Structure 1
Amino acid sequence: MNAALPDKRQIAASFSRAAASYDSVAALQRSVGAELLRCLPPTLRPARWLDLGCGTGFFSGVLADRYPQAEGLALDIAEGMLRHAREAGHADAYIGGDAERLPLRGSSVDLVFSSLALQWCGDFSSVLAQAERVLRPGGLFAFSSLCAGTLQELRDSWRAVDGYAHVNRFRAYEQYERLCQGGGLRFLTLKQQPEVLYFPDLRQLTHELKALGAHNLNPGRPGGLTGRARIRALIEAYESYRQHQGLPATYQVVYGLLGKD
């Protein structure tokens, strides 16, 4: 899995550049984060929460409203995102850091909330080990991520054009399942749920991916400009998926809840 993901510095730089445009095209991110919030038990009362991969800080604000008595920590690997989140001011502390090596003391938080960030981590077992380490007994790790099958329409359309990796790769749902069930945290729930967005044309989809900072970051991706003939071939291939709502882009979303005894 590590070889399929880009270097962390590339990820941080890409999302830092996208900080100003991210919120304008983050409808999916809002929807997925809201669904993850609905998964949280209503009896949960954390004294301190961590928004892991906080991005622009939108869900830090939601967590602050939901748990007004709690202390909030917002962490992201992308400094540009963290600056944006800091300006919003929803958390008590803003931390630059990596989910695979959290710069936090052990047993220091009651809720680790992470929505659509962990798909960029090559070593998910390290993410789970870090969440277990920083959670207090009785704490909860709630996450959403992306798995294999995401943007399959775009991937298959590119496959009809050339043999390069044009679409980000993500780990299989079964791998999430195996790692979550085999780690040190107590397995509570895990589910896969597709989310489909529709676009009037391919240009709008690729513009949104770039504005999110989530365009092609694969190692081995083609360099330089994409020729007009290849773009025409890609558009023609993608048009075969068109529905009355527009061109579909399917995201395979994983939602997980794990507890610490």
Structure 2
Amino acid sequence: MRRPEKHQVAASFSRAAASYDGVAALQRKVGNDLLQRLPDALNVHRWLDLGSGTGHFSRLLAARFPLADGLALDLAEGMLRHAAPLGGAQAFVAGDAECLPLQDECFELIFSSLALQWCADFAEVLAEAERVLRPGGVLAFSSLCAGTLQELRDSWRMVDSFTHVNRFRGFDEYQRLCADSGLELIALECRPEVLFFPDLRQLTHELKVLGAGNLNPGRPDGLAGRARIQALTAAYDTYRCPDGLPATYQVIYGLLRKER
């Protein structure tokens, strides 16, 4: 499965920096859930917020570990420019999770929430995490897997054969890659999170504002015509329930530890 080009991902999220926090309800919930999953006895001197975005969780990590030094790293320089004045981390670095511009064994904690789904080579992400973690250090991550936005994907299939919805690796692939890594697997689970929208326009608007619109190869060029949008709206409306139109995200939560 081909992944979006990294420069496209970086540019999309850089453009979204100023508006991102206003519509990031799912991102906040998932990140808070990930924070709650951190081991209680974790002794942290340095932490890394990997895919730090607007720095929201960098600031929460700083509050949780007030004596530790933090580093926020993101592929999107626009996100870093937005986050740096707000504090939280001691340093803000542009970098790629698959090739971290960091020294070996320098963190007790890597925290990464809803960022690693954009990485094509998750095995390399895990290898880099092992490299920069100190012995006994923990990688805590959340990501998205196959089945995310399935309602939208299936509705588009009723309209045409183009790729309109971002594609993510399956849970079984996450299981295999984590098991094959040099890290000890503490926990790995997939949980659905469902958001509800009054109409299709609100859903697609939110995806655009978040910078998480369709970034995959095979997407159509240009805007969809009125007839296609009407057909899509009719198809998606078959999912409507009393709370509105559902949008299901399949969220992966993982905890891995580097052996001492």
User: In which range does the TM-score fall when normalised by the shorter chain?
Assistant: over 0.9
Q: Which amino acid aligns with 2:212?
A: A
Q: 1:224, CA displacement in angstroms? A: 1.1
Which residue in the other structure is 2:160 paired with?
162
- Give the match for residue 102 of structure 2: 104
Q: After the TM superposition, list the runs of 4 or more consecutive aligned residues in structure 1 that deviate by more than 2 angstroms.
A: none
Residue type of the alignment partner of 2:185: F
Alignment of structure 1 residues 10-159 onto 2, 5 Å: 10-159=8-157
- The amino acid that maps onto 1:179 is L
Counterparts of 1:218 and 1:102, CA distance in 2: 24
SS of equivalent residue, structure 2 residue 241: coil
**CA-based RMSD:** 0.5
User: Is 2:217 the partner of 1:219?
Assistant: yes
Which amino acid in 1 is paired with 2:87? G
Deviation string, structure 1 residues 59-105 (Cα, Å, up to 9, x no partner)? 00000000000000000000000111102111000000000000000
After superposition, the C-alpha distances for 1:90-138 in whole angstroms (9 at most, x for unaligned) are 1000000000000000001110000000000000000000000000001
Alpha-carbon distance in structure 1 between the residues aligned to 2:223 and 2:257: 47
* Cα distance in 2 for residues equivalent to 1:158 and 1:76: 31
What is the match of residue 228 of structure 2?
A: 230
Task: Report deviation, 1:57.
Answer: 0.1
Q: Percent identity at matched positions? A: 68
CA distance in 1, matches of 2:193, 2:85: 30
Gaps of 5+ in 1: none
Secondary structure of residue in 2 paired with 1:87: helix
Q: Specify the SS of the correspondent of 2:239.
A: coil
Between the aligned partners of 2:228 and 2:177, the Cα distance in structure 1 is 39
- Per-residue deviation, 1:52: 0.1
Corresponding residue SS for 1:145 = strand
Match of 1:247 in 2: 245
Q: Secondary structure of 1:167's partner?
A: coil
Between 152-161 and 34-43, the greater mean CA deviation after superposition: 34-43
Q: Which residue of 2 aligns with 1:257?
A: 255
- CA deviation after TM superposition for structure 1 residue 160, in Å: 0.2
Deviations 1:228-247 (A, max 9, x none): 00000000000000010000
CA distance in structure 1 between the aligned counterparts of 2:43 and 2:211, rounded to whole angstroms: 33
Aligned match for 2:182, one of 184, 195, 200:
184
Structure 2, unmatched stretches of 5+, are: none
DSSP 3-state at the match of 1:220: coil
Which secondary structure does the structure 2 equivalent of 1:240 belong to?
A: helix
Of 38-47 and 124-133, more deviation after overlay is shown by 38-47
TM value normalised by structure 1: 0.99
User: What is the deviation of 1:147?
Assistant: 0.0
Q: Deviation of residue 169 (structure 1)?
A: 0.1
Aligned pair count reads: 259
For the residue of structure 2 that corresponds to 1:15, the secondary structure is: helix
For residues 189-220 of structure 1, the C-alpha deviation after alignment (integer angstroms, 9 at most, x for no partner) is 00000000000000000000000000000111
